[in-house]
Amino acid sequence: MSNKDAKAAVDAYEKAFAKTKSTATILRLTGALRAADRSDEAESRLKEWIDQHPKDASASLTLGTILQQSKRDKDATTVYEQVLNLQPENIVALNNLAWLYFEGGDKRALDYAQRAYQRFPERAEIVDTYGWVLLHQGQLEKGLQMLEKATKKAPANGDIRYHYAAALAKVGEKAHARTELKALLDSKTPFTERQTAKDLLSTL
| Reported pTM | 0.88
The whole-angstrom separation of Cα 86 and Cα 80 is 10
Q: What is the pLDDT of residues 63-80, one digit of tens each?
A: 999 999 999 999 999 999
Q: Chain-wide mean pLDDT for the chain?
A: 95
The whole-angstrom separation of Cα 182 and Cα 202 is 10
**Residue 25 confidence class, pLDDT cut points 50, 70, 90:** very high
Closest CA to 32 of 64, 1, 68, 62: 1
The whole-angstrom separation of Cα 90 and Cα 67 is 18
Residue 189 pLDDT:
86
Q: What is the pLDDT of residues 26-42, one digit of tens each?
A: 999 999 999 999 999 99
CB distance 80 to 64 below 8 Å: yes
Which domains, ranges and CATH numbers included, belong to the chain?
6-66 (no CATH), 117-204 (1.25.40.10)
Section 35-61 average pLDDT? 95
